[in-house]
Structure 1
Amino acid sequence: MNTAPSIVAVVVVAIATVAIGTWGLRFSRTTSDFFVASRTVRPALNASAIGGEYLSAASFLGIAGLVLTFGADMLWYPVGWTAGYLVLLVLVAAPLRRSGAYTLPDFAEARLGTPLVRSVCSLLVVAIGWLYLVPQFQGAGLTLDAALGAPGWLGSAIVPAVVLVNVLTGGMRSVTFVQAFQYWLKLTALLVPAVILLTVWIDDGATSPARVGADAAAWSLPVADGGGPGLYLTYSLIVATFLGTMGLPHVVVRFYTNPDGRAARRTTVVVLALLGVFYLLPPIYAALGRVYAGDASSDVLVLELPRLMVGGAAGDLLSALVTAGAFAAFLSTSSGLTIAVAGVLSQDAVGRSRLSGVAAFRVSAVIAAVVPCVVAIAAPDLGIARAVGLAFAVAASTFCPLLVLGIWWRGLTDIGAVTGLGVGFLGSSVGVAYAFAPVTSSGWIHALMAQPAAWSVPLAFATMVLVSRATRHRIAPEVNRFMVRLHTPEAVVLDRGDS
C-alpha cells in the first residue's frame, strides 16, 4: 500500500485550512467578529459553512459503516439528520435569530429573565459539545491509522491543533470561510470516487449488493428487525435525530451569524438541499462494501474501498481523495463545536475572571479543544456514529423542549425550564452511561437504555409544561415584549404614533 498520496492529501488539507483561516483573519477585528461574524454572513455562504460543520465523522465514515454492518434500517440516520433542519426551519430558525442572542444560554436568560437557566444551559452546551467532539478526534485517529499507518493518538492530537490555529486567530469569521470550503471538499471527495467505483461495479457485471454473511432479504428491511424492541430503537433514533438538530450548540450558533430572520430561513432551505445531496453518497459505499469489502472494518470502509475495488496507483489516489475529505470533516465539525463551547465558557466561566472579550474567548477555545482531545486519546474504542447519536439524544431531550416552548409558549417559567432540562438530561444520560458501562443486555432493557430519546424527550416536554403551570407566578414580566420580538419580521415597521 502506497501511503504517500494520503500523506500529501492530509498535509494539503491542513495547510489549506490554516491558509483560508488566516486569510479570514483580516476581517476579524471585534468581539462580535469572533462570536458571530458580526451577523453579516449571507445565506449561501452560511449554508455551505453549516454543511461543512454538520457533516461530521459520523456522516463521512459512520453511516457507511452502520449500513454495511446492520443494513438499510440504518439509513434513518441520514434521513433524520437531514429532516432535523426541516423542523429547525419551521419552528426555530427565524425567531432564534431575532432574539439577538449570541449563544443558547443568552437566549434562555433573555427569555426567562433569570441567570439560573443560563447557568444550566451553559453546562449543557459544554457537555453536548464535548460529547460530540470526542468522536471527531477519534475519527481522525482512525483515519490516519487506516490511511497512513500512523498511531491513533496522532490524528486525535493533530485535529485540535489545526482547529485551534483558526479559532484563536480569527474566531467565527475565519471559521466560516474554512467550513464553507470544507463542505465542497467533502462532497467532491465522496462523489468522484463513488462515480468511479460504481463504474467498476457495473463493468464487473454485478447485479445487486448481497449482505456479507447474512440473508440479503433481511438487509433490505425498512425498519429495524428484532420485533418490538427493534422497532422502538428505530423510532427512538428518528426522534433523536429529528429533534436533536435544533439543540446542537454548533448548529444553533451559526444562525446567529445571519443578518436577519429571513436570511436564517433561506439559509436553512439551502442547507436541506446541500445535506440531501451529500447523504446520497455514503449508502453507495456501504452497498459496494457488501460486495467487495469482505472483512474490512466498518469504521474505515470508505477509506479502504477504493483500494479494494480499483487497486494500484489509481486506487491509492482515490483513497487519498477520500482521506482528504474525511480529514476535512473532522476539522470543520471540530471548529464549529470549539467555537460554540468557547463562546459559552468565555461568557460564563473564563470571562468572569480578569480576562474579557477576545482574550477570554481564546483561553476558552483552548479548554474547549484540549479536554475532549485527552478523552479521545484515553478512550479510543467508542463507536463514532453511536457517540454522535447519543449527543443528538441529549440535545433533543434538553434544548429542543426549551427552544420550542420558549419560542411558542408564553407560559414557560424559569423553574419549569430548569426542571425539564434536568429531567431530560438525566433521562438521556442513561444512554451515555450505558454506552460506557461494561454490561450487556438484550430485549426491551437494552432498547430503552441504548436509545432513550423516545421516552426522555416527551418526559422533558411534559415536565416543563406541568412545572410551569404549577409556577405561573414565575412567568417573566417582559415575556410579552420578548415574544413580539421573536415573531415580528424585521421588515415590519411599528407605528408608535411619532410625527
Structure 2
Amino acid sequence: MVTDHSALPAVLAVVLVTLATLAIGTWGLRFSRTTSDFLVASRTVRPRLNASAIGGEYLSAASFLGVAGLVMVFGADMLWYPVGWTAGYLVLLVLVAAPLRRSGAYTLPDFAEARLASRRVRAACSVIVLAVGWLYLVPQFQGAGITLHSVIGLPNWVGAASVATIVLINVVSGGMRSITFVQAFQYWLKLTALLVPAIFLVIAWIGDGAPHPVDAPNSGTSAELWTLPLSSGGHGLYLTYSLIMATFLGTMGLPHVVVRFYTNPDGQAARRTTLTVLALLGFFYLLPPVYGALGRVYADEVAATGRTDVLVLELPQLMLPGTTGDLLTALIVGGAFAAFLSTSSGLAIAVAGVIGQEITRGRLGRWRPSGITAFRTAAVVAVSIPCSMALLSPDLGVARAVGLAFAVAASTFCPLLVLGIWWRGLTATGALAGLLVGGTGCGFAVGWSLFNTPGDNWAGALISQPAAWSVPAAFLTMWLVSLATRRSVPGHVRRFMVRLHTPEGVDLDRG
C-alpha cells in the first residue's frame, strides 16, 4: 500500500476517468430514443467506432491485470491467453460475424429462436447468457476492488460498488448508444495507460543493467495452479491445448461480444469491424507481456505472495520510486478503472437485453412494461447480482474466472452458432441436447474449480480446464441427436439459411 501523499495522483486519475465516463455517457443519451437504440444502437454503428468499442469492452480486467501476472509466474507459456483471445476474433470473422448480423436478431436467444423455431431453446440460451455474463462480470468487480485497495488503500468493496454504480448509471441512461461512445474512448485510454508507462519502464530497465527476464528466477508457483506450463508434462500439455480451444472458440459465445455485431449496419460492416478489432487487440496485447517480463526481474515479493494481479499496478513504484512512479501508477490505475467500466458496461447491456426481452414477453410474470422500462429494470438485476457475488465469493485470479467463462461459452454457444449457421440439419432437440451436455458438463467443472483446488493429476486437469472435452461433446451431441430427429427440422430453415449467407443488396423475393 502506498502513502496517502503518493496516492493522490491515483485518486485523481480514478475521479477523472469516472467523470469522463459519465460525461460521454450523458452526451450519448441524446441519441437514445427507442428500444432499438438501447439494445443495438439502431444498427447504425460504423466499423471503426464499433471496433474501438469492442476493443474497449473486450479488454477486461484479465487482459489489463491478469496476463502480466501469469507471464511473470509461468513465462512465455502464458502468452496463449492473449494469442487465443485475439485469434478468437479470426474464427468469429470467418464463421459467424456476417451471417449473425444478417439474421436480424437482437440477442443470442433471438437468433436461436429464429433459427430453430423453439421457445425451449430460447429459454436455455437465456439461462446460459446469464451464466456466462455473470461469471465474466464477477472478476471485473473484484479487479476494481483489488486496484483501489492496492494503490489507494480503500476496502475491496468500495471499488466493486463504485464500478457497479457508474456502469448502472450509464447503462440505464442511454443503453447501447451511450455505451458505444464510452467504450471507444476507454479503449484508447487503456492503450495509452499501458503504453506510456511501458516505455518508461523499459528505458529504466535498460539503464539499470538488470538481468534479462529469461535469466531471472521464476519465484512464484502457487498463484495459478489451475493452469500449468507445457514443461510440466502431459497434464500441462492437455491444459494448454484446452486453454487454446476455450479462448479460440469461446469468443463467439460471449454475449457482450456477439451483441456488438448486431449494431453494424450490415454483414459487410460486421466483417470490416472484426478485421479492425484484430489489429487493435493485436497491438494492445504486445504490452502486458512486457510488464510480466519486467516483473520476473523486479517483483519477486509480488510473485512470492501470490498477488500476481497487482503486478501492473505496483511495478512502476518498484522500478521508479518517487514522483515518476506515482504518476505512472496513476495513469495505469486510470486505465485499469476504465477496463472494469467498459467490460462491465458491455456485459450489463448484453445480460439486461436478454432479461428485458423475457420481461416484455411476459415470461417473468404478468407485469409487461415498455421495452425501455423493461431494459432499465433488467439492468439493475444484471449488475446487482454479480456485484453481490463479487463481494461474497472467495478471491479469484481475474484471468482464471474469465478463462472459465470462455470455456462455458465455447461449450454451449459455439456449437450452436457454428451448426446453426452452417448446417441445415440442426434441430431444436439436437440443440437442446448439446447445450445440456456442454453446459452441465462444463458448468460442473467450473463450479468445482471455483470452490476447490484441482489436484495435480489427470482428474484435476480435466476439471480445471474442461473445454478440450466439453466442446467436442457438445458438438457431437448436437450432431447425433439432430440426425436422430431429422424429421423435426424447421420448415423455414432453407429460406433462413439463404438469408444468413446472401450478401446485402440481393433481393431474396425476386423471382
- Alpha carbons 1:89, 1:268 under 8 Å: kept: yes
**Structure 1 partner of 2:456:** 442
- How many corresponding residue pairs? 492
Q: Distance in 2 between matches of 1:31 and 1:433?
A: 35
Question: What are the Cα deviations for residues 338-372 of structure 1, in whole angstroms up to 9, with x where unaligned?
Answer: 00000000011465222231000000000000000
- The worse-fitting range, judged by mean Cα deviation, of 308-317 and 261-270 is 308-317
Alignment of 1:303-382 (within 5 A): 303-349=313-359, 352=362, 353-382=367-396
- The answer to whether the aligner puts 1:276 opposite 2:290 as a matched pair is no
Q: CA-to-partner distance for each residue in 1:190-210, whole Å, 9 max, x for gaps?
A: 000000100001111234113
Aligned to 1:414: 428
Aligned to 2:484: 470
Structure 1: distance between partners of 2:161 and 2:269: 36
Cα 1:117–1:440 change in 2 (3 A) is closer
Residue 227 of structure 1 corresponds to which residue in structure 2?
Answer: 233
Following the alignment from structure 1 to structure 2, what is the Cα–Cα distance between the partners of residues 145 and 118? 41
Match of 2:171 among 164, 167, 186: 167
* Aligned partner (choices 296, 301, 318) of residue 295 of structure 1: 301
Partner of 1:218: none
Cα drift, residue 434 of structure 1? 2.0
What SS does the aligned partner of 1:179 have? helix
- What's the counterpart of residue 433 of structure 1? 447
Unaligned runs of 5+ in 1: 216-221
Q: Report the TM-score when normalising by structure 2.
A: 0.94
2:217 alignment partner in structure 1: 212
Matched to 1:291, the amino acid is V
Match 1:260 to one of 250, 266, 273: 266
Aligned counterpart in structure 2 of residue 393 of structure 1, from 407, 424, 428? 407
| 8 Å Cα contact 1:345/1:351 also seen in 2 | no
Aligned AA (2:348): T
Q: C-alpha offsets along residues 355-398 of structure 1, whole Å, 9 cap, x if unaligned?
A: 23100000000000000000000114122110000000000000
Q: Which stretch has the larger CA shift, 425-434 or 298-307?
A: 425-434
Which residue of structure 1 aligns with residue 252 of structure 2? 246
Query: Which amino acid letter does the alignment assign opposite residue 51 of structure 2?
Result: A
Q: Note closer, same or farther for the CA distance 1:415–1:162 as it changes in structure 2 (3 Å cut).
A: same
Separation (CA, whole Å) in 1 of partners of 2:102 and 2:384: 33
Q: CA deviation at 1:473?
A: 1.2
Q: How high is the TM-score relative to the length of structure 1?
A: 0.97
Deviation at 1:213, TM superposition (A): 4.5
Q: Is 2:454–2:464's contact at 8 Å kept on the other side of the alignment?
A: no
Cα distance in 1 for residues equivalent to 2:336 and 2:360: 33
Q: Is the 8 A contact 1:133 1:337 kept in 2?
A: yes
Asked if 1 retains the 8 angstrom alpha-carbon contact of 2:147 and 2:336, the reply is yes
Q: CA deviation at 1:440?
A: 4.5
Q: Which secondary structure does the structure 2 equivalent of 1:71 belong to?
A: helix
Q: CA deviation at 1:72?
A: 1.2
**Distance in 2 between the 1:437 and 1:268 partners?**
36
Q: Among 185, 193, 198, which residue is 1:194 paired with?
A: 198
Is 1:483 the counterpart of 2:497? The answer is yes
How far, CA to CA, are the matches of 1:493 and 1:19 in structure 2?
A: 43
| 3-state DSSP of counterpart to 2:14 | helix
The correspondence of residues 28-47 of structure 1 with structure 2, limited to 5 A, is: 28-47=32-51
CA distance in 2, matches of 1:320, 1:414: 52
8 A Cα contact 1:424 1:459, kept in partner:
yes
Structure-2 change in CA distance of 1:147 and 1:111 (3 Å):
same
Q: Could you give the per-residue CA deviations for residues 249-294 of structure 1, whole angstroms, max 9, x where no partner exists?
A: 0000000000000000000000000000000000000000111112
CA distance in 1, matches of 2:229, 2:400: 18
1:178 aligns with 2:182: yes
Aligned residue runs from structure 1 range 105-120, under 5 A: 105-120=109-124
Match of 1:140 among 121, 144, 147: 144
AA paired with 2:369?
A: L
After superposition, give the CA deviation of every residue in 1:77-126 in whole Å (9 maximum; x if it has no partner): 00000000000000000000000000000000000011111000000001
- Given that residues 171 and 345 in structure 2 are in contact (C-alpha distance below 8 angstroms), is that contact kept between their aligned partners in structure 1? yes
Please, which moves more after superposition, 375-384 or 264-273?
375-384
Contact 2:132 2:408 in 1 (8 A): yes
CA contact (8 A) 1:58 1:384 kept: yes
* Alpha-carbon offset, residue 496 of structure 1: 2.0
Shift of 1:494: 4.5
Equivalence for 2:469: 455
Aligned-pair distance for 1:495?
Answer: 6.9
Change (3 A) 1:113 1:440: closer
User: Which deviations, in whole Å up to 9, do the C-alpha atoms of 1:103-151 show, x marking residues without a partner?
Assistant: 0000000000111110000000011000000000000000000110000
Counterpart code for 2:189: L
Bigger mean CA offset, 391-400 vs 424-433: 424-433
Distance 1:438 1:491 in 2: 54
The share of aligned pairs that are identical, in percent, is 70
Q: Tell me the distance in 2 between the aligned counterparts of 1:213 and 1:168.
A: 46
Q: What CA distance in whole angstroms lies between the structure 1 residues aligned with 2:55 and 2:452?
A: 35
